[in-house]
Every structure is written in C-alpha cells, then in structure tokens.
Structure 1
Amino acid sequence: MAGTIHTDVNAVKATNANAVNKQYTGPLVTVTMLFFMWGFITCLNDILIPKLQQVFTLELWQAMLIQTAFFGAYFIVSLLYFVLSITKGDPIRKIGYKNGIIIGLLVAAIGCALFYPAASMLSYGFFLGALFVLASGITLLQIAANPYVTILGPAESAASRLNLTQALNSLGTTVAPIIGGYLIFGAVDTMQDAGADSVKLPYLGLAAALVAIALIIKISKLPSIQSEGDASIAPDAGALRYRHLVLGIVCIFAYVGGEVAIGSTLINFFILPEIAGLNETQAGHFLAFYWGGAMVGRFFGAVALSNMRNTSYKYLIIAGIAAVVFVLLYTAYGMEEALIALGLIALNFVVLMLGRFIPSKTLGYFAGTVVVLLLLTCFTEGSIAMWSVISIGLFNSIMFPTIFTLAVKDLGVHTSQGSSLLVMAIVGGAIVPPLQGIVADITGNLQLSFLIPLVCYLYIMYYGFSGSKVKEAAI
C-alpha cells in the first residue's frame, strides 16, 4: 500500500548545509527498512480479514472492522498530534526524530505482541485492540521517518530518496500476501484445528523484528534535526483557507478508502467459483499482483513525472523496467501470467502518455481508467473480472504522492499544517471497507459491492481534472 509523505521544511533547510559532502548511505538504508516494514504489516490485514472471518464466523462488514481499527488509529493519533502541535509545539520535534522513530517502532512491536494473547483468548475485540496499538506505532513512524529521508543527502536529490523509500514500501505490500498467506493460511492446509493460533508466530516474529530495528536505529549515527524558530503549527488553522487543500483532504480519504477496500476484498473475490475458484493460499499469491502492480507503477510514475527533460530517456527507462518485470514474472509464474502483466503495463504506459506527464491530468486519467476497470469487475466474470481488479494496483501507484503534492502546493507557511490534515484523511481506510462489506452482505453479491470504491475513484478523477487547481478562497 502507499506510505505518507510528511516533510518538515524547516528541518530540511536547517540541516541542508550539514548534509553536503556527507555520506548517508548507511543511515538511509537503515531508515528505508521502516518503509518496507510498515508496508508489509499494513498489507497483512488483507490476509487477516478472511482468516478471522473464518475463525469468528463473521459477516464481511464485521471482518472489515479490522481496517477500521487499523486506519482509525491514523486519524485519532494524527488528530492528537495536530492538537498538541498547535497548542504545545511539535511533540516529535521536542523529543527528536530519532527518538520518535524508536518510540513508534516499540509501540508497533507491542501491538504485534498483543496478537498472542488475543489468539489465546479467542477474542475478536482483543484483536481489534491489538491492531489499533500496532497502527498507532506506525502512525508515529510515518510522522517521524519521512523528514529523516529528506535530509540524508543533498536537498536536490531529496525527491529521489523519497521515491526510493516509497518503492520499498510497495515491495513490503507485494511480498506480504505471499509470505502472510503461507504462514497464516498455510497452517490451515495441514492443521484444520489451527484456528486463530496460526497468527501467533507470524506476529511474534514481526514484534521481534521491530524491536531489532529499534535497536539498530538506537545505535545508528543518524543526523540530528535542528529546528529553526517555533516548531509549532500555526494555531489559526490557516491551511483550511485553501480550496485545493480541503478538496485534497477529501481526495486522500477517497483514495485510501478505495484502495484498502479493494485490497481487503480480493481474497474473498478470487475464491468465488464464478471468478477463479482459488483457495486462500492461491488467492494470496494473486493479491501480490495487485500490490506488486502498485510498486511497478510507482517506478513508472517516478520516471514519467520527474523533471527529466529528455522524453526518450523516460521511455527507455520505463521499457527497461517493463522488461525486468516480464522476465521475473515469466520465471516465477510462466508465460501466460507474464504476457498478461506485460499487456497491462502497456495499458498503463498509454494512459501515462495520455496524461502528457502532467501530474493533475495523469491523476485524472488514471482514476478514470480505474473506474472502467471496476465496472468490468462488477459486471463480468472469470479471468476478465479477475485481471481487471488486479490491474487496478498499477493505476493506484502514483495516486497518493500525486494527490498529496497537488494538495500542499503553494501553501507556504501552512504546508506542515496541511500535511497533518492530509495524514488524518487516511481514516478513509477505516470507513470505506466496512461500507463495501455492508453492501456485499445486504445484496449477497460481492461483485456489486465494488461500486462503493468506484464512487471514490470518480471523486479522484474530479480532483485530478478540476479540484486540484490552486485557489486561495475559503470554502
């Protein structure tokens, strides 16, 4: 899934002089691990939903409360952070970004460890509480880690470093369904009575990994961030005067909600006899195509929307990435899947060209393409419906960073405040998935429930073509 960009402009300026002529490769590699880990952990929710739905015999909307607990933490923790920032000053800046990262890792580790007693007590409420604690830690990581990435090297290459870390985040979401599906559902294939116990060891392992990374961060010589002037966010909430930001907040809500709702439903979708008739483990492999598409598309978007003036070089780099993806898929899955993926990549490239590499237009065309793909998902069957929904990942790829960039454009001193408000909008991932679950339960038709995320992408298309235009008049 996508990571959040929360760049501290003052911190970048204050440390830029110190960054010159320093080698930050080691620290950058260390911090980049965080992006991989929270992408991995977030995508594991897509495995948990069908698993806990089986264990506790839940309706789909009840199982979707997993995403509500997880992404609800983003909203609540970000809101508390925002309130503290405008009243007491930026909390992370006071304790230091390095300490903020460590605290976030340890809180996330506690959340993972709580899965063990939740499984032992066989309590769904306990699971939801553990997910909330886990996501609270990841929210702190998102706020604290991104400013580090921007200062680990020259300012002119900061965007490149952020794209790299976002790609690693997508790598985590790509491998999580495969590894998680094997560890969590694999036990079911050999032990029919495994129940909730199959989640114990995977999440204890994650807790140990998070603690280990916290120790690595602790002993690593990461550069300290020195603030300039007042670290607090302006208490007048002046960012809300900007129409394109307010509409962008709604757009982030719609995007995260739509993306998460689709990903959360795919395993249940793939096991439908009229779609693919897969078992849960097989479905987990194809779920990786959805998130892997987001990773590949993010590389494409990073090249296409970059400041590289020579268009021929852009085409050459994109063709090279496509060739590598084809070879990897051919080796792992065979010719049929590799050719299908290559065809979808070609479609992605055509839409990129249609947008003429202009961020707002590209966003609009990508969202419009997803609307068409969701209609095919709703009203066709078999491989057409299956690959239509899988290919949405390719077009999701550039959406979060593009929406974010468009929303904070020309905010000036209100940029940090606008960033915090955009982080809160990630709560869409807590609200839209249960809505889709309710529609599926009421209608008894999982395919028709994809009309809920379709509404989200219609709004994203509007924002790309019109709502993202910079206007300072308040709504």
Structure 2
Amino acid sequence: MKTNYTGVVLVLVTFFAISFITNILGPLFPSLVEDFNISLAVAGFLPFSFFAAYGVMSIPSGILVDKYGEKFVMLTAFVMAAIGSLLFAINPSFVMAMGSLFLIGTGMAMLQVAINPLLRVSGGQEHFAFYSVMAQLLFGGAATLSPIVYSNVVQSMAAGETNGVIGFFNSNVPANMSWLSMYWIFAAVSIAMLVFIALIRLPKVELNDEEAVGAVGIYKQLLKNKSVILFFIGIAAYVGTEQGVANAISLFLERYHGLDPVTVGAETVSEFWFMLTVGCLLGLVLVKLFDSRLVLKLFSGAAMIALSFALFGRAEISVIAFPMVGFFLSVMWSVIFSLALNSVAEHHGSFAGILCTGIVGGGLASPLIGLIADMTGDLRIGMVVVYITLGYIFSIGFWAKPLVVNKTIKLFKKTSVETSTS
C-alpha cells in the first residue's frame, strides 16, 4: 500500500497540537490558584473539567467517526478547541475556565479517537508501529515545548515589548494575568489546524475489527468481565498519576523551596515531559527483552522512590527527582494498555473505548490531592494519592494474566550437544 504522506503529516502535527494544548495546566497551576484566589481542592476541578470530557466523549466520538468520518470529527474538534480557548481568553473567570477546559478536552478526546485509525491507513499497516512511536515522540516534544513557550512569553510581556505578538498580548491580556496569553496561542493553533485540515484530502478509512465501535450489548458484556474493570481502573490510575505529579510540580517548588513558577517551575515541568518522552525509547527496548509485567513492576517501584526524593529532598534534589518520576512513568501507559487488550479474546475496539474513558482519572487525582492538602495544610500529604495510584499500577504486574505474553528476544540461546555412546 502506498503511503499517504500528507495524511501521516497531518496526524503527526495533530498529535503535536493536542499535547501542546493539553499539558500546559501544570505550569499555570500556581497562577490560577493565586489570580482566582481559590483553594487547591477547587483548583483541582480545572483539570477535572478537562479530563471529564474524555470520560464523556471517548465512546461517542467513535460513533461520530463511524457516521461522519475522520475529517468532519477533526474539524469539529478544533472548532470546539478554538471556541473554548477564545472564550476564556476574552472573559477570564473561574467558571469560564472550567467551561473552556471542558470544550477543549472534548475536542482533544474527539481527535484521539479519530487520528489513530487515520494514521494506520495513511502510513500503511506495516509502518503503523513506527509512525505510532514517532507520534508519541512528537507528543512528548510538544509537552516539553509548551512550558518553555509559556515561560518565554510571560518574561517577554514583563519586559514591556510593544511590537508583534508580544505587543498584541500586552494590549489584550490583563497585566496581572500574563499567563492568559497561552489561550490566545491555543486559539491560533486550533484555527491554523482547521485551515490545514480543510485544505487537504484525507484517505478513506475502513475500520478493522480492532478499531470498530461495538453495540451497547458488547459494552455491557465487557463490563461484566472483572479484568476489564481492573484495567479500566489501571488506566485511570496512570493518568491520575501523570497529571497529579505534573500539576503539582510548579506549585510544590514554589511553596516548599521558594522557586519561581514561571522560570524554574515551568522548566522543571518541561523536563518532566522530556524525561517521560526519553523513557518511552528505553521502554521500547525493555519490553523486547523482558516480560512487560516485570518492566511495569520495576518502573512503578522506581517512580515511588523518585517521588519520595522529589517531595522530601532539598530544592536541588527535588528539581531533578520530579523529571525522574516522568522517566519512570514513561512505559506505564503502553504496558497497561497492551496487557489489557491482550487479556480479552475479542471486541478489542470496544474495550479500547472503555480504556480511553478511563482517562477521566487524570481529572480525579488533582481535586483529591488539593482536598487533602487543604485539610492538612500540607501538599506533601495530599500527594499520598499518587502513592496509592502508583501502588495500584505496581499490583498490575502481579495479577495481570494476559492471554498473549509480549514476545521477547533471547539474547543467549542454549545450544544442545549430542553425545553418542559406544
């Protein structure tokens, strides 16, 4: 099958755009808490608004793709992201922030469902794994870049620049809310993607059995399976861990070590996503050498140790340990997802929809962390939520019983020596 490079480029750019927009909440968290004068528990509902959209829209998005096609769904998704970004940029308030993040999250959920089958068809099934890895690298690259852009924009605005894009921000963003400029950028990215998608012709996608959305009866059947529920919780635990740590980094460094959230905080969040991306490359090698369940146990245990250093170490240790948590989280999503799909014999497309709905876990962790931190007056105690989610992920390595175990490479093969007797 001939590769449709335009389609491949579109999907890769879309992955980049999704991550650039999605992973900015962490660096913004201290500013949101301060400027809206809200508690950590209330602030936790901001990421909840975003990730709740994944819980609501993952399965319906598959139905929309079946009925109207990938291009329509992608255009609709970026329209929602643009509207959500502009509404908040023009009318910044806590209530508007929640509504805006829900709209953006809905758009991102729709895109996640639409672009994976499109990547398979555009790149060809034989190259799907390669392009999927490339997409994840771009996803991580955008997550690394987003906090850096935020830091540079805010510092440029503080310097009083009056020309170009920074001049526009200084004219249209409240002086005490320079972080709001990121939502103008998100709107611009969304509009640019709308134009890009509208101008190109996408290949026709025929969903295979793995990607097809099943009937309601299939979901009911799957939800009666104990393994399905346990892996759903596993996905929720992973996303809750990832977002719980990412959203706490900048705020934690400010509160406990007095480090500037716009510079050091944003840089540490950027390094967290960078290390998570680098770890993905190591993970590709490790799951070819070892049982994925062993890899999951080793990395989740190491993540708990790194988190302990981040929370209880000195400032210079903390800024290194938080990115190391990201490094050890890197393999978890792919290992949990593959173990889950390999644990059921059929209806993988519908099961994948249920697992993606578990992304809502990313919104549940932050309010819980904030609530406990507010009640105890200690963010460190609030982070016990992350130890619980990591503990659950660690347990998956023991109870998972996949029907198909990941194939590993034998580095040393035994040779048999034949002996003869006379």
TM-score, length-normalised on structure 2?
Answer: 0.86
Post-superposition offset of 1:27: 2.1
Query: Mapping of 1:100-179 within 5 angstroms?
Result: 100-119=73-92, 123-179=93-149
CA-to-partner distance for each residue in 1:427-462, whole Å, 9 max, x for gaps? 111111111111222222222322110110000000
Q: Which moved more, 1:49-58 or 1:422-431?
A: 49-58
Corresponding residue number in structure 2 for 1:253: 236
- 1:99 corresponds in structure 2 to 72
Change (3 A) 1:247 1:189: farther
Question: Contact between 2:47 and 2:362, CA under 8 Å: does it hold in 1?
Answer: yes
In structure 2, what is the Cα distance between the partners aligned to 1:427 and 1:128?
A: 15
Q: Which moved more, 1:248-257 or 1:144-153?
A: 144-153
- Name whichever of 420-429 and 40-49 sits farther off: 40-49
Counterpart Cα distance in 2 of 1:261 and 1:410: 28
Is the CA contact 1:244–1:469 (under 8 Å) kept in the aligned structure 2?
A: no
2:199 corresponding residue in structure 1:
219
1:43-442 aligned at under 5 Å gives the runs 43-78=23-58, 80-81=60-61, 90-119=63-92, 123-184=93-154, 187=157, 194-196=175-177, 198-226=178-206, 232-236=213-217, 237=219, 238-272=221-255, 274-275=256-257, 277-306=259-288, 356-442=289-375
C-alpha displacement at 1:184, in angstroms? Answer: 4.3
- In structure 2, relative to structure 1, the CA distance for the partners of 1:448 and 1:270 (3 Å cut) is same
The letter of the residue matching 1:104 is: A
Other structure's SS at 1:233 match: coil
Work out the CA distance in 2 between the residues paired with 1:53 and 1:433: 13
Going from structure 1 to structure 2, the CA distance change for 1:410 and 1:266 (only over 3 Å counts) comes to: closer
Matches of 2:392 and 2:314, distance apart in 1: 26
CA distance in structure 2 between the partners assigned to 1:286 and 1:367 by the alignment: 21
2:417 matches 1:447: no
Contact 1:377 1:386 in 2 (8 A): yes
Give the drift of 1:416.
1.1
Structure 1 residues 220 and 60, CA gap change in structure 2 (3 angstroms): same
**Inter-partner Cα distance in structure 2 for 1:128 and 1:217:** 27
Relative distance call for 1:38 and 1:182 in structure 2 (3 A) is: same
Q: In 2, Cα distance between the equivalents of 1:299 and 1:462?
A: 24
Q: CA RMSD in A?
A: 2.4
**Partners of 1:470 and 1:227 in 2: CA distance:** 24
| Residue type at the aligned position of 2:55 | F
- Provide the rounded CA distance (Å) in 2 between the counterparts of 1:285 and 1:39: 16
Deviation (angstroms), 1:216: 1.4
CA shift, 1:188, in A, is 5.4
Measured at CA, do residues 151 and 58 of structure 1 come closer, stay the same or move farther in structure 2, by a change above 3 Å?
same
Is the 1:97–1:144 contact (alpha carbons within 8 Å) kept by the matching residues of 2?
Answer: yes
State the alpha-carbon separation in 2 of the partners of residues 265 and 48 from structure 1.
Answer: 10
| Partner Cα distance (2:263, 2:338) in 1 | 37
Matching residue of 1:42: 22
Deviations 1:127-157 (A, max 9, x none): 1111111111111001111111122233222
- Which residue identity does 2:175 align to in structure 1? A
Once the two structures are superposed, what CA deviation does each residue of 1:367-400 show, in whole Å capped at 9, x if it has no partner? 1111122233333333233322221010111111
Change (3 A) 1:209 1:434: same
Sort the Cα spacing of 1:227 and 1:363 in 2 relative to 1 into closer, same or farther, 3 A. closer
The 8 Å contact of residues 174 and 292 in structure 1, kept in 2 or not, is answered as yes
Letter in 2 for 1:235: V
1:240-285 per-position Cα deviation (integer Å, ceiling 9, x unaligned): 344333211101111101110110010011223x546345322111
Query: Match of 1:100, as an amino acid?
Result: V
TM-score, length basis structure 1: 0.77
Give 1:312's aligned residue.
Answer: none
Shift of 1:80: 4.3
**Length, aligned pairs only:** 390
Quickly say closer, same or farther: Cα 1:281–1:224, change in 2 above 3 A. Answer: same
The answer for the alignment partner of 1:330 in structure 2 is none
Q: Which moved more, 1:285-294 or 1:441-450?
A: 441-450
**One-letter amino acid of the structure 2 residue matched with residue 136 of structure 1:** T
- CA change 1:193–1:164 in 2 (3 A) is closer
Contact conserved, 2:301 with 2:394, CA < 8 A, in 1? yes
The runs of 5 or more residues in structure 1 that have no matched partner are: 1-19, 307-355
Which ranges of structure 2 fall in alignment gaps of 5 or more residues? 161-169, 405-422
Instruction: Name the % identity.
Output: 27
Query: Take 2:54 and 2:24, find their aligned partners in 1: how far apart are those partners?
Result: 17
CA distance in 2, matches of 1:36, 1:233: 29
Q: Which residue of the partner structure matches residue 407 of structure 2?
A: none
- 1:170-191 per-position Cα deviation (integer Å, ceiling 9, x unaligned): 1111111111233246645769
Distance of 1:158 and 1:242 partners within structure 2:
29
